[in-house]
Amino acid sequence: MHNKWYKDVVVYQIWARSFCDGNGDGIGDLYGVYDKLDYIKSLGVDMIWFSPIYPTPNCDYGYDISDYRNINPEFGDLEIFKKVLDGAHERGMKVIMDLVVNHTSTEHEWFKQSKKSDDNPYHDYYFWRKGRGKNGKNPPNNWLSMFEGGAWEYNEDLAEYYLHVFAVGQPDLNMDNPKVREEVKGILKFWLDMGVDGFREDVITFISKKEGLPNGFPLPVATGYKNYVNGPHTYEYLKEFKDDVLSKYDCFVVGESPMVNMQRALQYTTEGDGQVLQMMFSFDHMCADCFMIDYIPTPFSLRKMKKAFSNWQNTINGTGWNSLYIENHDHARIISRYGSEKYRTESGKTLAAMYMLQQGTPYIYQGQEIGMTNTHFNSIDECLDVATHNAYNIFRKFRFSEKFTMDKINKGTREHARTPVQWDDSENAGFSSGTPWFKVNENYKQINVADQENDENSLLNFYRKLIAFRKDNAVLMREGSYNELMKSSKKFYVYERILGDEKLLVVANFSEKPCTFKAPDGYDLSKGELVLYNYSDNKLENNSYTTRPYELRVYKF
């Protein structure tokens, strides 16, 4: 019997600070989430993933944790968290937490202890090293951080540097220290015993650093990354977490895995004793409109996107398991990237069906279901995110103009994903009765939940239909093969899902201009049932049709 429930769920991601403010202080919180549980359930999703909701000084908005066993007071406390957890469970939804253990906050007690002296028991929880050169004033190696200049920060009292692969306020934990791994297991147990259903593990492919921390090839950012991405003990440590804790619970773990390749993903997610994660987040398909990172834009390439999706579908199929997503808190809004703001609803529906009908577990990021789009930042002062400031500083350091730099920031910043959710057309988009902590997108009067609730053809209601379709066709979605057709097309993304006699043909058009779609060999479209679409009046002529902008048709046979 199939009991891998994680294969049938749809996950909704909440970045709580911008979701809904329940107590009127301008910051989204768990009271707001509690109020919206029925809304979340109404989408048809089965699971909520909370981006970090623990105490934090917010240098990376929660991804710098100062206490792993509590709730950020800006969001509430353990009592309201338990109410949310119970409320979700009562509605048949599971809840997973973000586990951020590549690093802590510098405000975490372990770090405070660790910097007291080099014989403090917590000193070896982190990577403290003497500097190089005369008087030890040069950092221990040439690594650059992802978020804030050099990867080493000097501590005068200790006359040592600590490693931070991300921001200065995010010191890396030394996972080679068995005591640190015991701490991680304790954290896992703490939340699982409270009743949470699993974890999304932040940058889990970074947790093991190469011995000796050797220099890396010089780059403008992240020099040295090859010495900690997919490091030597990553699998071993994940296996330990699984064997000692996770395997004892009916839980679910998805690993965020920048720069992971498919072979490694297979090693981690293939079912059986060796499986250490249920699935991973890959990044390849998120680079179809940029070069390596979001701040170096290139024209959107449908072929690049299709190739990335198909590679993962074809390789993971039948052995491991894919996670499917097109938005999260780290990327600009997808309609503004891969779709069209002009044809927002149409392209939003096409994008939704395109990724959610593949094999894997789909994730939806807050606001994606109503087609929230990018906003505009007039100056870097309007941005609060450490990574965005870092990108800005690097461009400026290389003497790019203010205008050029802000253009790149506006293209790539993850701040677009962090504007408050647009609930209705009242002041502050119904997000808060106070002053929102971050700017509300000006288009909230046109794009909001309340409006779309009242419109049968809205994107919001399309997501509901799509999720319901997945449920009604659970076996086909789970087990059906994936086969891409018309691979070289620059206008269509076409694939089929087949299981026995059942067949689904997904035809997603990515062009504003009319194109002719001719049914692939062996298909008689007039015999299929049109199950999902984004225009009415879907005619066929000689087994073909002329598309309207971003037209979607999904036929079932």
Contacts with ligand NOJ, residue ranges (CB under 6 A): 60, 63, 100, 166, 202-203, 256, 329-330
CB contact at 8 A, 395 and 354:
no
Output the smallest distance, CB 531 to ligand NOJ, in A.
34
Which residue, 100 or 449, has its beta carbon nearer to ligand NOJ? 100
AA identity, residue 449: V
256 is catalytic: yes
Residues 6+ apart with CB under 8 A from 256: 200, 201, 202, 203, 204, 205, 280, 281
Could you give the CA distance from residue 146 to residue 387 in angstroms, rounded to a whole number? 8
Which residue, 21 or 202, has its beta carbon nearer to ligand NOJ? 202
Output the smallest distance, CB 202 to ligand NOJ, in A.
5
Of residues 325, 306, 144, the one with CA closest to residue 218: 144
CA distances from 284 to 312, 461, 481 (A): 9, 29, 21
Which residue, 60 or 369, has its beta carbon nearer to ligand NOJ? 60
Output the smallest distance, CB 417 to ligand NOJ, in A.
10
Structure tokens at 479: 């087990």
CB contact at 8 A, 36 and 20:
yes
Output the smallest distance, CB 256 to ligand NOJ, in A.
6
Output the smallest distance, CB 51 to ligand NOJ, in A.
7
Could you give the CA distance from residue 409 to residue 332 in angstroms, rounded to a whole number? 10
Residues 6+ apart with CB under 8 A from 452: 370, 458, 459, 460, 461
Give the residue nearest to ligand NOJ (CB): 63
Which residue, 201 or 369, has its beta carbon nearer to ligand NOJ? 201
Which residue, 204 or 357, has its beta carbon nearer to ligand NOJ? 204
Q: What angle do CA 149, 152, 158 make, to 5 degrees?
A: 140
Q: Which helix (H) or strand (E) holds 305?
A: helix 302-316
Place of tokens 């975490």: 108
Which residue, 172 or 346, has its beta carbon nearer to ligand NOJ? 172
Which residue, 105 or 458, has its beta carbon nearer to ligand NOJ? 105
CB contact at 8 A, 323 and 363:
yes
Could you give the CA distance from residue 96 to residue 365 in angstroms, rounded to a whole number? 14
Output the smallest distance, CB 494 to ligand NOJ, in A.
32
CB contact at 8 A, 430 and 256:
no
Structure tokens at 500: 């026995």
Output the smallest distance, CB 63 to ligand NOJ, in A.
3
Which residue, 171 or 436, has its beta carbon nearer to ligand NOJ? 171
Which residue, 63 or 125, has its beta carbon nearer to ligand NOJ? 63
Place of tokens 């395997």: 247
Output the smallest distance, CB 329 to ligand NOJ, in A.
6
29 is catalytic: no
CA distances from 476 to 209, 482, 484, 496 (A): 41, 10, 16, 11
Strands 361-365 and 11-14: parallel
Identified catalytic residue from 21, 46, 153, 256 = 256
Place of tokens 């087949």: 498
Of residues 433, 438, 430, the one with CA closest to residue 377: 438
Quick one: how many helices (H) and strands (E) in the chain? 15, 20
CA distances from 382 to 61, 88, 421, 431, 546 (A): 16, 35, 18, 19, 44
Output the smallest distance, CB 111 to ligand NOJ, in A.
15
Identified catalytic residue from 202, 327, 330, 346 = 202
Active-site annotation, residues: 202, 256
